[in-house]
Amino acid sequence: MNLEQKLAKLDELAQTIEQENISLSKSLEIFEQSVTLAKECMQTLNDCKGRLTVLTEEVRRIVDEK
């Protein structure tokens, strides 16, 4: 699953858990799944932020070179 799919899944889980007929054990299962997804999303986003910083620096260096 890519980042967008994970974000969509997380959104879906947040909606599912709000349904009234859902059991506590099922809710906890969803919560567990959400935490795992959130961790993965945050990891990906932090990677993106890092790559963005590196690229910005690299392009700035190229622009200043010539």
Partner 1 sequence: MTVSVTQLNNYIKGMVEIDGVLSDLSVVGEITNVKQYKSGWFFSLKEGDNSINCLTFSAATPPVTGMMAVIEGHLNYYPKTGSLSVYVRRITSTKNTGESYLNFLELKEKLKKEGLFDDERKKIVPKSCQKVGIVTSETGAVIHDITNVVYRRQPFTQLFLYPVKVQGEGADFEIARGVLYFNDTDVDAVIVGRGGGSNEDLSVFNSEVVVRAIAACSKPIVSAVGHGVDFTLSDFAADKRAVTPTEAAEFVTLDVQKEKDHIRYCLSQIASICNNKIISCKDSVAYNLKGIQSTISLLTQSYKSKFVRQLTKIESNTTNKLQQRQHQLDKSMTKLSALNPKSILQRGYAHISHKGNTLSSIDELQIGQQIDIFMQDGVAQATVTNKETK
54 binds partner 1 (CB under 8 A): no
CB of residue 10 to partner 1, shortest distance in Å: 5
Total chain residues near partner 1 (CB under 8 A): 29
Q: Which two tokens stand for residue 42?
A: 């945050």
How far is Cα 19 from Cα 26, in angstroms, rounded to an integer?
Answer: 11
User: How would you classify residue 51: left for phi > 0, otherwise alpha for psi between -120 and 50, otherwise beta?
Assistant: alpha
Contact footprint for partner 1 (CB under 8 A): 3, 7, 10-11, 13-14, 17-18, 22, 24, 27-28, 30-31, 34-35, 38, 41-42, 45, 48-49, 52, 56, 59-60, 63-64, 66
